[in-house]
Amino acid sequence: MSALLLGLMLATGVGINHASDWALDRTALPASWMRLLYGATQPGVTAVYLAGDRWAASAEGRLLIAPGEAVPLSAGEALRGVVARGEQLWAITDQQVLVLSPALGDVFPMALFGVEEVSAVGHASSCALVIKAQGGLWCLELDELVAHPLDPATSVDWQQGQPVGDLSNQVLRAFYAQELTIERLLQDIHSGRVLPGGMYLLDALGVVLLLQIWSGLWLWQRRRRLQRRVR
């Protein structure tokens, strides 16, 4: 048991020391481990939007992006839709446009386009990105960062929010990705916090290990004295 404990401490210590080099501080735990070890629960998701095989969701003040990113949202900010543009995912809220995936990039407030309070996102034959905001319908040109008013009679295919469904594990990982990483697990194993009362168990095992070392040295010294007497 002592040898196992010592090996575990050494292995987790090496992992913690090289967490940045091995990206352990940026790799989220599997959702099943989050639930089992930390009791992580599914966050309250208010909206999920899909763009091809990618998704974005808003939950408890965060914007969650596949596969495991989380961006803070301001109080009351609501996700209205997402648009895939090559490797990037553009998330449109009622207040701003965020360039996401593979990493957070630029953020463009809606005031930059001269519109505010977006309530819906869609597309039309004449415009790839249509938003409904104060003042009617607008065509958002992301490359030029301008918005053109559209005829209110324009036929628009509006994006609809999706149920979490099969994305539940991905949403859970994205929500806790910054807190529950492999580095965090190694730290909790190293300190014993991964188990209830684990710190005290680790303390007890540490005392046992010290006693073994002390008793081993004592027996070694005792044996040497006996050998000297025999001679």
In a domain, 202, yes or no: yes
CB 8 within 8 A of CB 189: yes
Least confident window among 42-51, 79-88, 187-196: 187-196
pTM metric for this prediction: 0.72
CB 100 within 8 A of CB 202: no
In a domain, 30, yes or no: no
At residue 194, the pLDDT reads 72
At residue 53, the pLDDT reads 81
Q: Same structural domain for residues 50 and 151?
A: yes
Q: Same structural domain for residues 118 and 218?
A: no
Q: Same structural domain for residues 84 and 149?
A: yes
Q: Same structural domain for residues 141 and 223?
A: no
Region 16-33: what's the mean pLDDT? 90
At residue 48, the pLDDT reads 92
Q: Same structural domain for residues 144 and 206?
A: no
CB 106 within 8 A of CB 99: yes
In a domain, 119, yes or no: yes
Q: Same structural domain for residues 91 and 149?
A: yes
In a domain, 199, yes or no: yes
CB 55 within 8 A of CB 168: no
Domain that holds residue 230: 195-231
What values do phi and psi take at 22, rounded to 5?
Answer: -100, 10
Q: What is the overall mean pLDDT for the chain?
A: 85
Q: Same structural domain for residues 148 and 208?
A: no
Q: Where are the beta strands (DSSP E) in 69-214?
A: 69-72, 79-85, 88-93, 96-100, 107-109, 120-124, 127-133, 136-141, 146-149, 157-158
Q: How many separate domains does the chain show?
A: 2
In the chain, what percentage of residues exceed pLDDT 70?
89
At residue 1, the pLDDT reads 59
In a domain, 170, yes or no: no
Task: Return the structure tokens found at 31.
Answer: 């959702």
Interval 132-152: pLDDT, tens: 998 799 999 888 888 999 999
Distance between CA 186 and CA 151 in Å, rounded?
A: 58
Q: Same structural domain for residues 122 and 217?
A: no
In a domain, 57, yes or no: yes
Interval 196-217: pLDDT, tens: 666 666 677 777 777 777 888 8
Distance between CA 9 and CA 170 in Å, rounded?
A: 31
In a domain, 11, yes or no: no
Taking Cα atoms as reference points, which of 60, 39, 56, 35 lies closest to residue 169?
35
In a domain, 203, yes or no: yes
Q: Same structural domain for residues 126 and 213?
A: no
